[in-house]
Amino acid sequence: MADQELLTPDQVKAQFRAQGLTVTQWAEERGYPRNAVYRVLNSFDKAIYGRAHEIAVALGIKADPNAGSQPAAA
């Protein structure tokens, strides 16, 4: 599997503008609170764990820790 290219918050915002999508629309479509998404995009939350990390992964800002990791066979 190829390495996932991560985006910066500014790149995510630019993609939203290019697609005519608001942060609120994106958040509602995925069931996240709008304010939580804004906090991640504006770096108020470090998104190390919990919901903020989940949002950052969904936005493409952080790598998915479960992607491509398979448990070793015993």
DSSP string, 9-49: HHHHHHHHHHHT--HHHHHHHHT--HHHHHHHHTTSS--SS
What single string gives the DSSP state of each residue in 49-62?
Answer: SHHHHHHHHHHTSS
Q: Is residue 71 very low, low, confident or very high in pLDDT (cuts 50, 70, 90)? A: low
**Residue-wise pLDDT tens digits, 25-36:** 999 999 999 999
- Per-residue confidence (pLDDT) for residue 55, from 0 to 100: 98
Domain ranges, residue 54: 9-59
- When divided into structural domains, the chain yields a total of 1
Q: Is residue 2 part of a domain?
A: no
Q: Is residue 64 part of a domain?
A: no
Q: Is residue 49 part of a domain?
A: yes
Q: Is residue 27 part of a domain?
A: yes
pTM: 0.83
